[in-house]
């Protein structure tokens, strides 16, 4: 780890202002991803702003009938919340499918959204990575690509976003609330929060410098049967090869978001009209334009079968 | 009690210093003293007060010190083990505020005023915690390196089930989770045992929970 100075933020706005002032600053909440990356010197912040003392650790009902999840609500607490379990099962399921108990006890809602890719070339500092060192190239392209993206990738990056929680939030049309360095608040829909890699894979979200996430809001419950089907190399404590977050209504309509296939949670709203016709046409529409490698083409079939199993369970 | 000792120079720091072709003694660079590296600020120190196993401990540490290193190197509580140091193996598992975490993936300075329970606080020779006794009885280890983390984790897992926290193995999200072999295996997936004592660990946990798991009377 490189040396860094450390402060505890007093308010969200003060945290944002401090982060904007110091070019090498990072917020630290759970720290479960950031500290790992700092030990590997993939992240080399010169200043850490500890935001754990800011509160923001409650799940509250909104006037609209949804839930407002504080940025610092731990993954365990969010997965356990009675209202989340009852009305947003896909979210509780996605959280429980991610990481290990020790990580979930520490990792926060905002931190989960902001975790970095687990692309092995991002982690290997001896290789080129446009995400880790912009302009250095992408050693993953032409490399070992089994776990990497099959859709929405670019010539600069084929990494995937590793979060399970974010896939469920995308399916639920969640909104990320932030405060900027100048104190202004704004709302960013999940659909616009994570970016595709394009030419700038190191820019992963819509957040501006210093911008601080204060909460994530869920719209009123959408009902239906809710699923998070995660397929991985081990039964537990592994990242998804493919995951399917789905809300299926009694009439066969619904919504689907995928994890493990792209640089952001992958959802194509227009394709969801195909859902009542079954997994094959629906997944064909969702993954239209996919460009897998010979090593990860299996993800297309796996995604279709994962969705088919979800739809079968929804009918049953 | 005050601790002011610096942790020894890590291998990584030594390699970095060597790679940079530094001619100054490595220890002087790593331990600060106002020297600034070309690529970043000098090491910074901060004070932190922890309550470890019921006892107040005041520390002054390099800000980079993980909770695990604070426990092992500063407080000499070497029960918590450093396996991978990346949150993959679980050997460093301790409880903070009653919740199990990886002490290698958190900084000591982030725990001002927090209550930390390590394996040393859970039980002692002659006064074993029921989970420790059950691990002995069921042979829940071989080499023993992962055992402190396994026992801290196992103790917290039973509390988590009692508290109704669901897991990936919980069939009904709206019902209280039960102590089953499936639940135990899923919830213990963040602790690796390379000797493969898993089935005996499940038995030990089931006994402490007062249940028997499928096909295995406790």
pLDDT value at position B39? Answer: 64
Are residues A106 and B63, on separate chains, in Cβ contact within 8 Å?
A: no
Do B130 and B218 belong together in one domain? yes
Residue B129: inside a domain: yes
* B3 occurs within a structural domain: no
Say yes or no: ipTM exceeds 0.85: yes
Q: Per the CB < 8 Å rule, is A102 touching B190?
A: yes
Q: Which residues of B touch A27 (CB under 8 A)?
A: none
Q: Do B54 and B99 have their domain in common?
A: yes
Residues B82 and B67 in one domain: yes
pLDDT of amino acid B211 = 79
Label each residue of B148-180 as H, E or C: HHHHHHHHHHHHHHHCCCCCCCCCCCCCCCCCC
Enumerate the residues of chain B whose CB falls inside 8 A of the CB of residue A48.
Answer: 63, 107
B193 part of a folded domain: yes
The predicted structure's pLDDT at residue A192: 98
Domain boundary residue, one of B80, B97, B122:
B122
So what's the pLDDT on residue B38? 56
Say if residue B218 is in the same domain as residue B148. yes
B209 and B133, same structural domain?
yes
The domain spanning residue B142 has which CATH number? 1.10.150.120
Closest chain B residue to A75, measured at CA:
B165
* Domain coverage including residue B200: 125-218
Residue B112 and residue B156 share a domain: no
Inter-chain CB proximity A79 and B165 less than 8 Å? yes
Domain count, chain B: 2
Q: Is residue B50 part of a domain?
A: yes
Taking the C-alpha atoms of residue A124 and residue B153, their distance in angstroms, rounded to an integer, is 30
Query: Which portions of chain A are predicted below pLDDT 50?
Result: none
Chain A, nearest residue to B177 by Cα: A80
Compute the nearest-CA separation of B121 from chain A (Å): 19
Taking an 8 Å cut-off on Cβ atoms, the answer to whether B190 and A99 are in contact is yes
Cβ contact A4–B90 (<8 Å)? no
**Does the distance separating the beta carbons of B93 and A2 come in below 8 Å?**
no
Residue B112 placed within a domain: yes
- The pLDDT assigned to A177 comes to 98
Average pLDDT per 10 consecutive residues for chain B, totaling 218 residues: 44 44 37 49 95 98 98 98 98 98 98 98 96 98 98 98 98 96 98 98 97 56
Phi, psi of B200 (to 5 degrees): -75, -30
Three-state SS sequence of chain A: CCCCEEEECCCHHHHHHHHHHCCCEEEECCCCCHHHHHHCCCCCCCEEEECHHHCCCCEEECCCCCEEEECCCEHHHHHHCHHHHHHCHHHHHHHHHCCCHHHHCCCEHHHHHHCCCCCHHHHCCCCCECCCCCCCCECCCCCCCCCCCCCCCCCCCCCCCCCCHHHHHHHCCCEEEEECCCCCEEEEEHHHHECCCCCCCCCCECCCCCCEEEEEEECCCCCCEEEEEEECCCCCCCCCCEEEEEEECCCCCEEEEEECCCCCCECCHHHHHHHHHCHHHHHHHHCCCCCCCCCCCHHHHHHHHHHHHHHHHHHC
Of B122, B152, B180, the domain-final residue:
B122
**Would residue B133 count as lying in a domain?**
yes
Residues B133 and B204 placed together within one structural domain of the fold: yes
* Cβ contact B90–A48 (<8 Å): no
Assign residue B93 the CATH number of its domain: 3.10.20.30
Please provide the distance, in angstroms rounded to a whole number, between the alpha carbons at the two ends of chain B: 44
The Cα–Cα gap between A61 and A199 comes to 40
Chain A interface mutation, best of B168, B169, B181, highest count of A Cβ atoms under 10 Å: B168
Q: pTM for the complete prediction?
A: 0.92
Tell me the residues of chain A between 229 and 248 that have a Cβ less than 8 Å away from chain B: 234-237
Let me know whether B217 and B130 are in one domain. Answer: yes
**Residue A3: closest CA among chain B residues belongs to which residue?**
B43
User: So what's the pLDDT on residue B212?
Assistant: 66
Picking from A39, A46, A102, the nearest residue to B93 by CB comes out as A102
Contact status of A83 with chain B (Cβ, < 8 Å): no
Q: Which residues of A touch B187 (CB under 8 A)?
A: 101
Suggest the residue from B35, B46, B99, B174 to mutate for an interface test with chain A (most A CBs closer than 10 A).
B99
Q: Which of A46, A50, A100 sits opposite B189 (nearest CB)?
A: A100
Q: Do B63 and A4 touch (CB under 8 A)?
A: yes
From A6's Cα to the closest Cα of chain B, the distance in A is 7
B144 and B217 share a domain?
A: yes
For residue B10, being part of any structural domain is answered with no
**Domain final residue pick, B90, B122, B154:** B122
Domain assignment present for residue B149? The answer is yes
Distance from CA of A288 to the nearest CA of B (A): 31
Residue B7: the pLDDT is 45
B130 shares its domain with B213: yes
Question: Is the domain of B59 the same as that of B107?
Answer: yes
Q: Are residues B149 and B63 in the same domain?
A: no
């Amino acid at each position: 780890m490189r040396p860094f100075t450390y402060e505890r933020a007093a308010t969200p706005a003060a945290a944002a202002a401090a982060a904007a002032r110091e070019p090498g600053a990072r917020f630290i909440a759970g720290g479960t991803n950031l500290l790992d990356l700092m030990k590997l010197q993939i992240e080399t912040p010169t200043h850490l702003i500890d935001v754990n003392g800011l509160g923001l650790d409650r799940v509250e009902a909104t006037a609209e009938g949804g839930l407002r999840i504080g940025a610092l609500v731990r993954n365990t607490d969010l997965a356990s919340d009675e209202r989340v379990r009852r009305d947003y099962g896909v979210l509780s399921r996605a959280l429980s499918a991610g990481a290990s108990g020790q990580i979930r006890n520490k990792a926060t809602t905002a931190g989960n959204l902001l975790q970095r890719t687990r692309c092995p070339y991002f982690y290997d500092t001896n290789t080129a990575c446009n995400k880790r060192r912009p302009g250095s190239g992408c050693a993953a392209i032409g490399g070992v690509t089994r776990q990497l993206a099959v859709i929405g990738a670019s010539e600069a990056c084929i990494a995937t976003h590793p979060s399970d929680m974010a896939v469920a939030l995308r399916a639920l049309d969640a909104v990320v609330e932030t405060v900027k360095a100048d104190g202004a608040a704004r709302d960013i829909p999940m659909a616009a929060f994570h970016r595709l890699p394009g030419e700038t894979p190191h820019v992963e979200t819509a957040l501006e410098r210093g911008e601080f996430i204060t909460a994530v809001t869920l719209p009123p419950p959408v009902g239906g049967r809710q699923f998070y089907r995660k397929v991985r190399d081990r039964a537990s404590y592994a990242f998804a090869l493919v995951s399917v977050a789905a809300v299926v209504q009694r009439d066969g309509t619904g919504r689907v978001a995928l994890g493990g296939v792209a640089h952001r949670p992958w959802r194509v709203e227009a394709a969801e009209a195909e859902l009542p016709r079954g997994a094959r046409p629906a997944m064909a529409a969702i993954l239209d334009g996919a460009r897998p490698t010979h090593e990860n083409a299996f993800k297309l079939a796996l995604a279709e079968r994962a969705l088919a199993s979800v739809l079968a369970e929804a009918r049953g | 009690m005050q601790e002011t000792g610096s942790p020894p120079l890590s291998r990584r720091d030594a390699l970095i210093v060597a790679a940079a072709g530094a001619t100054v003694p490595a220890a002087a660079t790593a331990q600060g003293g106002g020297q600034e590296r070309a690529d970043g600020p000098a090491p910074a120190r901060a004070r932190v007060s922890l309550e470890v196993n019921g006892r107040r401990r005041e520390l002054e540490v390099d800000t980079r010190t993980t909770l695990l290193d604070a426990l092992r190197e500063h407080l000499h509580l070497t029960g918590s083990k450093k396996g991978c140091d990346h949150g993959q193996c679980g050997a460093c598992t301790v409880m903070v505020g009653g919740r199990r975490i990886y002490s290698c993936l958190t900084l000591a300075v982030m725990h001002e005023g927090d209550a930390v329970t390590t394996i040393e606080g859970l039980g002692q020779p002659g006064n074993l915690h029921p989970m420790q006794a059950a691990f002995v009885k069921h042979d829940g280890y071989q080499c023993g390196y992962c055992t402190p983390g396994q026992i801290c984790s196992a103790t917290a897992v039973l509390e988590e089930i009692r508290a109704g926290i669901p897991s990936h193995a919980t069939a009904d999200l709206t019902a209280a989770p039960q102590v089953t072999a499936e639940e135990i295996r899923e919830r213990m997936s963040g602790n690796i045992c390379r000797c493969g004592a898993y089935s005996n660990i499940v038995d030990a946990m089931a006994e402490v929970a007062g249940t028997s798991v499928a096909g295995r009377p406790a």
